[in-house]
């Protein structure tokens, strides 16, 4: 299940410095507190302003890349008057100048169903120019727009090379072939190349259509395996490896896309848990001769095509084949001329394996690999046949991702959690010795994009008191220049709201098995003093995701400063976010704690958090709320049914209510085959629905193509049959990610109103707001 940061309303959370020790019990643990916040001043932070332009987080860059020669940094930047629409920009490092390359307003805003689906799968909320790529020589860029592909010579004007108006199909997944003379893309379920010099298009496949496609990534590959393409060029562009995807066995469902103008019936092939997947096979074409070699990977029903790479010399395709139960991963070497394969290495797990994108084929034939064989993800250097693999990193902490390899210097750059799961740092490790060097040191969330040569890298950072920044750094981690300093001064969009900012506080509770449970707390201004002087108590709300796809408690700028959790706190709610067992960045044992049983230990952990809240003198323990989206929506319902009486209200967004209604790859990874055992029944919200206590609000987009609206309608009927009253808000035209700003404004205001109605004690209890006024409660 993919993660929408904005919808989790936790996303990336900011932090302060931990100021004390960790106590063992939820009831006795004290929060690691900052100094008492001053009385709130400044402008009130409303939901409307939270989502308006310019963005409160300040200027941001997405899709940041170096040009091949390292002289330019290109990026996608939001418009000043529309925080959700991006243009293509470049920064000249030598000249120190930013310049606009392409204004998205010059193109049609029309978007095909294929483009919208890819954007949904890749969690891209923006419109405008949302993707682009460089040729190898750094002379030309390409980008997709309104169903067509455009090429842009540096210093020139965009040129359209496809014509969707004539073909009636959008061109998707476009990129340059190595060498830069060809552009490849998928259109109408077939794979094409376009010769830029000749101005000619060539269809590499021709029989795609209906349920058969070439060069594509099937639904679960995009949604759950994070493989967004279905073709891969060899170095030198002699060969192209590509998928053949047959969805004929996948159930065809009619998804009713309810919009403001009416209902559109959208046929969609959706692989429900336990059912048939698309049959995905791999082929390799010699571009000059057109000869195609088929690769025998076994029975397509028994595996996922997880990853495809090439040796640096183009001699072999490196294929990662994941078993259907996701407990075995084989790295295969394939002869591109014949399709013959051999197994290089195998990874196995008793629970499930987590895919990575860290394979790097080195120039000397060795392979950089990542594995969780020790219980934590680490990097390994393997010989040509992967017969011997030497650990480069080790310890009870997890590597996150490889950022790049400087082979001349013998260094690998990567990100990870060596300093703890709340801080994301950039490191380098020497290939020869395994010596790890930290390149970032300040608490917070650091990221890296490496230049092709010289060790220069793009350093992204956000922290407890710093919105996202971007700089160019050298190989030692020293800043060369700012790209986006994003100084939080009087000119910053957040400046009018800074005086009333409620700083997050961090601490740790202990789970029943002794595991550390990290939490974040937002306390309304003056709450502690009011509790001391008048005994006043404040309602509290817990925000959670709770599933294996995301951890919300991090030392980064985000929702705690400028999002819905901050809005709640400024409206007089104590807000808590706690990462229960079953969330990532903590090693495989912590992540797999909910294996074959969602709604088990994570409920116990969230109850620990609730008990802790009740122990605080300024919290009204009789008025606790809970909310989340997607897996967090499931968690909300589970908390009201499996911990009845703990929470007085819960707002569940796009919840999975019956895991049989969700897709194969995600659900079977964690719950297994529905035909085996009772994991699906044990993990269903319906098992304990009769025990529900507390008011429930259900929120769902009526065009959701990920967590189908069927999940909510099935729950509605069950609640009605047992006589349970509830609140419901549906959104025409909205998918899982809620693209529309006005729908989001309505959704968050509806949630705020719901909590005001259900958590404010009768008699109109009040709480201090950001503007220094009060917010009256409603019975």
Residues labelled as active-site residues: 630, 704, 736
- b (16+ CB within 10 A) / e for 701-730: bbbbbbbbbbbbebbeebbeeeeeeebeee
Contact 609, 646 (CB under 8 A): no
Positions of E strands within 613-715: 619-629, 649-653, 695-701
Contact by Cβ (8 Å): 693, 644: yes
Q: Is there a contact between 32 and 507 (Cβ–Cβ < 8 Å)?
A: yes
Q: Are 142 and 152 in contact (CB under 8 A)?
A: yes
Answer for the pair 598, 536: CB distance below 8 angstroms, yes or no: no
Asked if residues 576 and 505 have their Cβ atoms less than 8 Å apart, the reply is no
Residue 39's alpha-carbon distances to 214, 282, 490, in angstroms, are 61, 63, 20
Q: Are 674 and 682 in contact (CB under 8 A)?
A: no
Residues with Cβ within 8 Å of 534's Cβ and at least 6 positions away in sequence, in order, are none
The residue written with tokens 């309104």 in the block is: 146
Instruction: Tell me the CA distances in angstroms from 426 to 447, 452, 665, one per residue in order.
Output: 6, 17, 31
**What's the burial of 432, exposed, middle or buried (CB within 10 Å: 0-12/13-18/19+)?**
exposed
Reference 82, options 52, 45, 116, 40; nearest CA is 52
DSSP 272: B
Q: What helix, strand, coil percent values describe the chain, rounded to 5? A: 20, 35, 45
Q: Tell whether the torsion through CA atoms of 119, 122, 127 and 133 is positive or negative.
A: negative
Q: Any bridge partners for residue 172, and if so which?
A: 186
Q: Can you read off the two tokens belonging to residue 124? A: 């891209």
């Amino acid at each position: 299940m993919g993660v929408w940061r904005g919808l989790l309303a936790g996303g990336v959370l900011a932090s302060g410095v931990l100021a004390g020790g960790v106590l063992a019990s939820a009831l006795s643990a004290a929060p690691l507190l900052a100094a008492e916040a001053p009385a709130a001043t400044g402008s009130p932070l409303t939901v409307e302003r939270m989502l308006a332009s310019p963005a409160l987080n300040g200027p941001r860059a997405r899709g940041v890349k170096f040009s091949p020669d390292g002289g330019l940094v290109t990026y996608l930047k939001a418009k000043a008057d529309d925080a959700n629409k991006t243009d293509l920009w470049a920064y000249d490092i030598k000249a120190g100048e930013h310049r606009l390359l392409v204004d998205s307003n010059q193109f049609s805003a029309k978007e095909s169903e294929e483009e919208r689906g890819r954007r949904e799968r890749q969690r891209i909320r923006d419109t405008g120019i949302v993707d682009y790529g460089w040729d190898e020589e750094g002379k030309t860029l390409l980008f997709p727009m309104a169903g067509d592909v455009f090429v842009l010579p540096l210093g020139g004007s965009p040129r359209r090379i496809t014509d969707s108006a004539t073909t009636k199909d959008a061109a998707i997944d476009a990129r340059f072939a190595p060498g830069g003379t060809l552009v490849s893309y998928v259109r109408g379920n077939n794979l094409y190349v376009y010769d830029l010099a000749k101005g000619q298009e060539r269809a590499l496949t021709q029989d795609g259509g209906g349920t058969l496609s070439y060069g594509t990534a099937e639904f679960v590959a995009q949604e759950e395996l994070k493989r967004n393409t279905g073709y891969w060029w060899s170095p030198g562009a002699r060969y192209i490896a590509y998928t053949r995807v047959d969805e004929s066995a996948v159930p065809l469902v009619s998804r009713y896309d309810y919009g403001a103008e009416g209902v559109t019936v959208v046929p969609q092939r959706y692989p429900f848990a336990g059912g048939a997947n698309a049959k995905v096979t791999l082929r390799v074409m010699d571009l000059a001769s057109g000869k195609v070699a088929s690769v025998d990977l076994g029975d397509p029903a028994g595996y996922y095509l997880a990853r495809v790479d090439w040796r640096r010399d183009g001699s072999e395709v490196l294929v990662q084949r994941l078993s259907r139960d996701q407990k075995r991963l084989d790295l295969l070497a394939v002869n591109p001329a014949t399709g013959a394969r051999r197994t290089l290495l195998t990874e196995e797990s008793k629970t499930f394996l987590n895919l990575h994108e860290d394979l790097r084929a080195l120039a000397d034939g060795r392979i950089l690999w990542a594995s969780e064989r020790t219980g934590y993800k680490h990097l390994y250097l393997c010989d040509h046949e992967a017969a011997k693999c030497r650990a480069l990193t080790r310890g009870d902490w997890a590597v996150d991702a490889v950022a790049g390899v400087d082979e001349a210097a013998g260094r690998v750059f990567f990100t990870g959690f060596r300093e703890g799961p709340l801080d994301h740092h950039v490191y380098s490790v020497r290939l020869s010795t395994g010596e790890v060097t930290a390149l970032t040191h300040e608490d917070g969330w650091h990221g890296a994009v490496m230049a092709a040569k010289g060790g220069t890298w793009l350093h992204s950072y956000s922290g407890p008191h710093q919105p996202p920044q971007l700089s160019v750094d050298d190989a030692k981690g020293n800043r060369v220049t700012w790209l986006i300093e994003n100084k939080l001064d009087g000119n910053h969009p957040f400046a009018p709201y800074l005086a009333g900012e409620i700083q997050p506080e961090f601490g740790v509770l202990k789970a029943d098995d002794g595991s550390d449970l990290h939490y974040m707390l937002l306390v309304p201004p003056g709450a502690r003093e009011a509790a001391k002087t008048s005994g006043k108590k404040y309602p509290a709300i817990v925000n959670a995701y709770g599933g294996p796809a995301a951890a919300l408690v991090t030392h980064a700028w985000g929702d705690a400063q400028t999002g819905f959790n901050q809005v709640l706190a400024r409206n007089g709610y104590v807000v808590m976010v706690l990462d229960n067992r079953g969330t990532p960045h903590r090693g495989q044992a912590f992540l797999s704690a909910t294996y074959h049983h969602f709604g088990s230990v994570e409920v116990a952990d969230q109850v620990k958090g609730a008990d802790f809240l009740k122990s605080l003198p300024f919290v009204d323990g009789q008025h606790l709320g809970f909310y989340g989206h997607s897996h967090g929506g499931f968690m909300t319902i589970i908390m009201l049914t499996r911990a009845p009486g703990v929470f007085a209200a819960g707002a569940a967004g796009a919840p999975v209510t019956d895991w049989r209604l969700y897709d194969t790859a995600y659900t079977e990874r964690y719950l297994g085959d529905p035909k085996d055992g009772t994991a699906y029944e044990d993990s269903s919200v319906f098992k304990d629905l009769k025990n529900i206590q507390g008011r429930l609000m259900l929120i769902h987009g009526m065009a959701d193509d990920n967590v189908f609206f069927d999940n909510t309608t099935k729950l509605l009927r069950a609640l009605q049959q047992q006589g349970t009253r509830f609140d419901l808000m549906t959104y025409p035209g909205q998918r899982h990610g809620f693209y529309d700003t006005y729908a989001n404004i309505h959704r968050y205001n509806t949630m705020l109103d719901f909590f005001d109605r259900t958590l404010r004690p009768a008699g109109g209890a009040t709480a201090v707001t950001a503007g220094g006024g009060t917010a009256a409660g409603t019975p």
